[in-house]
Amino acid sequence: MSIRTVTTQPFSDQKPGTSGLRKKVPTFQKQHYLENFVQSIFDSISPPSGATLVVGGDGRFFNREAIQTILKMAAANGFGQVLVGRGGILSTPAASCVIRKYKTYGGIILSASHNPGGPDGDFGIKYNGSNGGPATETVTEAIFAKSKVITTYRILEAADVSLDQLGETTLGNMKVKVIDSVSDYAELMESLFDFAAIRALLTGGFKIKFDAMHAVNGPYAKEILEGRLGAAAGSVMNAVPLEDFGGGHPDPNLTYAHDLVDIVYGKDAPDFGAASDGDGDRNMILGKRFFVTPSDSLAVIAANATLVRGYTKGIAGVARSMPTSAAADRVAKALNIPCYETPTGWKFFGNLMDAGKVTLCGEESFGTGSDHVREKDGLWAVLFWLNILAVRKQSVESIVREHWAKYGRNFYSRYDYEGLPTEEANGVMTHLRDSFASLTDKQFGKYTVATCDDFSYTDPVDASVSKNQGIRILFSDGSRIIFRLSGTGTEGATLRVYLEAYEADVARHHLDAQDALKDLIQIGLNISELIVRTGRQQPTVIT
Ligand code: G1P
Ligand code: ZN
């Protein structure tokens, strides 16, 4: 077996986005494309000789091929050992758990999260550091810089390694250890939650349905929910991970998880429904005919944390991404703990958690998590809710309604306009920026603009500054409209419009969010000139 140094040419489009590098599968299949990026990672992180790396992915099309390439490149770049999930499978939170548990140098996660997969679908790759979290912007910038000047990469010439049996093999001087994809993660969950109480709930007539959406969480949910917690057989649906997610869009929201939604809103509905995404880090929580917005879910989890075994001592603080509703802020205020507002993307939570400033964090995009790992964690959120339900013995709906009665309700919705020509999307953003001065103090019906800005964040731990993180139109009553361009899409531009209105009056809490936000939506469309500039009458998806 010999190490080959291969001459290559840089690609200009390897800038990591909100969560790693995401491209269509055929892009990743281009000669040297994956190799260039992997070498750029290794060159940026300069692993000490003999370091241990974790590798795994969500099992989508191209996962296995990519892993074989990465293993051979790791061997040629001086790693001593790689831990790989069996079959190349590790959910994103499980990868984070394994990196932390075995104190490895870092890990490479292969996933395009909730984006569809298959030969023409999306693929992705990202690097996580030794804390188990996504590389910081400093590291992703360094990777991008390397990718623009790369001239060679190193790879071991060797046969493929079998990934389907547990145990150790060698690749050159490097050990490859195939580990069980589920057990370390399941053990961590068992340490955080009262499995006996949840088991009593689930075997005592409380019915649940978990939609794994043919994605990575199938085996995790089967083992934990049906295996260890005794949920009835069949409680986990679409449990077999498929390379193309069965042709579906593995994003747990009311639009794409429609199989589950039909069940939870249908006859004989279960008491609790949940779904997770392609790589298992997102979650959607449903009660019987009741949807919990991700922003509310974070707030409810924060308010009830001390009921849950791993969190009885209380939480140090909460963090939410800027577009996420301020529901969690109200809980933080009541608990007298800090609430941090970060840019979109999980990588901004890592420093806060490492410094012990926050315990819980969340995003409106169906992401919730805690400092047990450094990624958002879909199944963790489900177990957190089940633990709360086991203790409070109330329905999901009554828990949320009581929460609103106490803290007020933050009506919330997000409108996504996908696949826009980049110039049109940029045009909307530029127009908004140009309107800041004329918008300030302007009145729209009952809403008055207090301020407008382009969100900028200074990390309280390392003082790094992230600019242009979304345009905020802030109204005097606390309502907000936010405009932001997605950093995870692979086709054209996706413009996201986030809407939030606070309502203290319980008599209005029953309103449908779309009704409650009607006026704000109109204001957002008018001031952005979105319809005229893009020709889109309707958003692609509303969540
Ligand atoms: C989206 C979400 C963001 C999340 C990211 C990765 O990013 O909006 O909250 O962290 O996916 O799951 P975006 O496409 O908006 O850049
Ligand atoms: Zn994901």
- Residue 132 sits at the vertex; the CA angle it makes with 130 and 138, to the nearest 5 degrees, is 70
Distance, CA of 36 to CA of 14 (rounded, Å): 9
Query: Do residues 226 and 220 touch, judged by C-beta distance below 8 A?
Result: no
Give the residue among 380, 367, 374, 348 at the shortest CA–CA distance from 464: 348
Please say whether the beta carbons of 412 and 481 come within 8 A. no
Is 329 within 8 Å of 309 (Cβ atoms)? no
Give the whole-angstrom CA distance, residue 203 versus residue 193.
17
Which entry of 113, 235, 297, 325 is annotated as an active-site residue?
Answer: 113
Task: Indicate whether this model's pTM tops 0.75.
Answer: yes
72 φψ region: left (φ > 0), alpha (ψ -120 to 50), beta (else): alpha
* Degrees to nearest 5, angle at CA 153 with 152 and 155: 145
439 Cα–ligand 2 center, Å = 36
> What is the Å distance from ligand 2's center to 300 Cα?
22
Dihedral through CA 442, CA 447, CA 449, CA 455, nearest 10? -150
Separation of alpha carbons 389 and 200, rounded Å: 11
Looking up tokens 């060698």 gives: 170
Q: Which residue has the tokens 């932390």?
A: 100
Taking alpha carbons only, the member of 164, 174, 274 closest to residue 229 is 274
Per the annotation, the verdict on 113 as an active-site residue is: yes
Does the fold of domain 409-542 match that of domain 2-181?
no
Domain ranges of the chain: 2-181, 185-407, 409-542
**542 — phi, psi (to 5°)?**
-115, 130
State in Å: Cα 367 to ligand 1 middle: 9
The pLDDT profile of the chain, 543 residues, written as one tens digit per residue, is: 799 999 999 999 999 987 899 999 999 999 999 999 999 999 999 999 999 999 999 999 999 999 999 999 999 999 999 999 999 999 999 999 999 999 999 999 999 999 999 999 999 999 999 999 999 889 999 999 999 999 999 999 999 999 999 999 999 999 999 999 999 999 999 999 999 999 999 999 999 999 999 999 999 999 999 999 999 999 999 999 999 999 999 999 999 999 999 999 999 999 999 999 999 999 999 999 999 999 999 999 999 999 999 999 999 999 999 999 999 999 999 999 999 999 999 989 999 999 999 999 999 999 999 999 999 999 999 999 999 999 999 999 999 999 999 999 999 999 999 999 999 999 999 999 999 999 999 999 999 999 999 999 999 999 999 999 999 999 999 999 999 999 887 788 999 999 999 999 999 999 999 999 999 999 999 999 999 999 999 999 999
Q: Is 136 in the pocket of ligand 1 (CB under 6 A)?
A: no
Residue nearest to atom 8 of ligand 1 (CA): 365
Q: Is 486 in the pocket of ligand 1 (CB under 6 A)?
A: yes
Which is nearest to 32 in space by CA: 64, 14, 3, 8? Answer: 8
Q: Which CATH class is domain 409-542?
A: alpha beta
Nearby residues for ligand 2 (ion, Cβ within 5 Å): 113, 277, 279, 281-282
Fold assignment, 2-181 = Alpha-D-Glucose-1,6-Bisphosphate; Chain A, domain 3 (3.40.120)
Query: At the fourth CATH level, which superfamily is domain 185-407?
Result: Alpha-D-Glucose-1,6-Bisphosphate, subunit A, domain 3 (3.40.120.10)
Q: Which of 113, 249, 366, 486 to mutate to test the pocket of ligand 1 (most atoms within 8 A of CB)?
A: 486
Torsion of CA 482, 488, 489, 490, to 10 degrees: 160
C-alpha 436/C-alpha 451 separation (Å) is 8
